[in-house]
Amino acid sequence: MDPQIVLFGFGVGFLVGMTGMGGGSLMTPLLVLLFGVKPTTAIGTDIAYAAITKTAGSWRHLKLRTVNMPLVYWMAIGSVPMAILGVWFLDILKRRLGDQLDETVFAILAACLLVVGAATLLRGFFLAKKIQERDDFEMHPRHKIAAVRVRPGERLFAGTRFRLVRDATAFSDDTVLEAVCDPPDVLDRLAAGTEVVFDDGKLEGVVEGREASGVAVRVTRTQRKGFRMKPERGLTFPRAELDLDPLTATDLVDLDFVARHADMIGFSFVQSADDVARLQEELARRRSDWQRIGIIAKIETGRAVKNLPEIVVRAAGRQPFGVMIARGDLAVAIGFERLAEMQEEILWLCEAAHVPVIWATQVLESLAKRGLPSRAEVTDAAMAGRAEGVMLNKGPHISLALDFLCDVLTRMKGHQIKKSALMRKLHVAESALE
């Protein structure tokens, strides 16, 4: 028995079980290139080897309930007959090519590996590009702009008027900018005087009145250079009581998968104990041990802050529970000037209730995206140590941001634990006391 082959078998078997990657793309090249096995023999050997490793791996995945059996059946309908056809075709090549068969098979293997490698690199490139393009977007805003009718280069300034409409079919032919609100039924709950905020506070407006196609909005505040309306931008109504179902139709579909596989659920825009009860009822319909699944309530509205004690009691009394201070939407909802005050009250309340807190939104964002933090970000990162968890945004320098945050929090833990100062010895006073 060759110990090297056993060692490679350990590695390949582990990768097959963990990633599902075909053994043919791993073991066959190793047998040919490293151990000098004839290509045709390597293929046959690897097929038998894969039957063993994938049988064991598939049994384990069946136990974990991570197998989509209907998908397996459909894949088998195409792959099993073609696998048999491939072996038959190899037999034909052997009779026709004779001693040249191994060279031909080696060339085919090399071509396949090149194609797979190139496809993997391209996929990584396009995926990275897609993520980079979406860095500045809210990934799943509760309300958003679905489409826009705008003249090239047009920007909105204070005093400008535009329309929020139900769908693109309601676009008119006049010169007023129009944007589609998603979901459209929100517009039915808006009255004159309702505040409207776009893209985490970059534009603020007020509803002036209702129209047949939607509502008319007047801009009250925006950046000095104006605001360019784009699809997929977040849309919020800070002080409106919309009374919408906390779980959308898409949420309920996603919950079917989440209930089977997730350890924890992030609950966006939860506003009351009734919202938590609604989620718990849906979880109970999907699994008997639903109380093992944790909930992270994202506190991002003024109503959620007001109802936080009831939310904590309803959730923490039944299952693992934590709170995320979603400071982006929360600042828009209650006003930027009140954010610091409210996050302090949330920290106090959760510490008293022994509920863990996640400090979120724009922590070291400049560092993660551009490689250099601002002074205010450093202080904010230090204050984040009073929470149990800190959420960093994605960016090309995220590893640097993670190391930086760990360094800051390590230094701060000697000064403060949660919201209590430790009164440790101050290094800046050492020389004065000597």
Distance CA 307, CA 269 (A): 12
Distance CA 300, CA 312 (A): 15
Identify the residue with better confidence: 10 or 151: 151
Average pLDDT rounded to a whole number, residues 306-313 = 94
Strands 264-267, 294-299: pairing kind: parallel
pLDDT score of 86 more than 90: no
pLDDT tens for 402-418 read 999 999 999 888 888 77
Average pLDDT rounded to a whole number, residues 352-379 = 92
Mean pLDDT score of the chain: 80
pLDDT for 186 equals: 83
pLDDT for 36 equals: 66
Average pLDDT rounded to a whole number, residues 212-225 = 90
pLDDT score of 355 more than 50: yes
pLDDT tens for 107-157 read 776 676 677 667 666 766 665 555 444 443 333 446 777 777 777 778 899
Distance CA 297, CA 354 (A): 15
pLDDT tens for 224-235 read 899 988 887 888
Identify the residue with better confidence: 59 or 214: 214
Are 167 and 184 in contact by the 8 Å Cβ rule? The answer is: yes
Identify the residue with better confidence: 390 or 151: 390
Q: Domain 264-354, what fold?
A: TIM Barrel (3.20.20)
Average pLDDT rounded to a whole number, residues 74-79 = 72
pLDDT for 8 equals: 56
Distance CA 303, CA 142 (A): 15
pLDDT score of 98 more than 50: yes
Identify the residue with better confidence: 16 or 313: 313
Percent of the chain past pLDDT 70, that is, above it, reads 73
The end-to-end CA distance of the chain, in Å, is: 71
Are 222 and 204 in contact by the 8 Å Cβ rule? The answer is: yes
pLDDT score of 61 more than 70: no
pLDDT for 170 equals: 74
Identify the residue with better confidence: 322 or 143: 322
Average pLDDT rounded to a whole number, residues 12-23 = 51
At 16, list the tokens: 């097959």
pLDDT for 12 equals: 56
pLDDT tens for 242-291 read 777 788 888 899 999 999 999 999 998 898 999 999 999 999 999 999 99
Distance CA 349, CA 341 (A): 13
pLDDT for 415 equals: 82
Torsion angles phi and psi, residue 138, rounded to 5: -70, 125
Are 187 and 145 in contact by the 8 Å Cβ rule? The answer is: no
378 exposed, middle or buried (CB, 10 Å; 0-12, 13-18, 19+)?
middle
Q: Identify which of 53-67, 73-87, 92-106, 151-165 has the greatest average pLDDT.
A: 151-165
Q: Identify which of 27-41, 42-56, 177-191, 388-402 has the greatest average pLDDT.
A: 388-402
Domain ranges of the chain: 3-133, 144-236, 264-354, 356-415
- Provide the 10 A C-beta neighbour count for residue 27: 24
pLDDT for 239 equals: 75
SS3 per-residue string spanning the chain: CCHHHHHHHHHHHHHHHHHCCCHHHCHHHHHHHCCCCCHHHHHHHHHHHHHHHHHHHHHHHHHCCCCCHHHHHHHHHHHHHHHHHHHHHHHHHHHHHHHHHHHHHHHHHHHHHHHHHHHHHHHHHHHHHHHHHCCCCCCCCCCEEEEEECCCCCCECCCCEEEEECCHHHCCCCCCCEEEEECHHHHHHCCCCCEEEECCCCEEEEEEEECCCEEEEEEEEECCCCECCCCCCEEECCCCCCCCCCCCHHHHHHHHHHHHHCCEEEECCCCCHHHHHHHHHHHHHHCCCHHHCEEEEEECCHHHHHCHHHHHHHHHCCCCEEEEEEHHHHHHHHCHHHHHHHHHHHHHHHHHCCCCEEEEEEECHHHHHHCCCCHHHHHHHHHHHHCCEEEECCCCCHHHHHHHHHHHHHHHCCCEECCEECCCCCHHHHHHHC
- Provide the 10 A C-beta neighbour count for residue 205: 24
HSE-CB for 355 with a 13 A CA cutoff: 30
Distance CA 77, CA 133 (A): 38
Percent of the chain past pLDDT 90, that is, above it, reads 33
pLDDT score of 20 more than 50: no
Average pLDDT rounded to a whole number, residues 196-224 = 89
Q: Which amino acid is located at 414 in the chain?
A: G
pTM (predicted TM-score): 0.60
Are 151 and 201 in contact by the 8 Å Cβ rule? The answer is: no
Query: Which CATH code is given to the segment(s) 144-236?
Result: 2.40.33.10
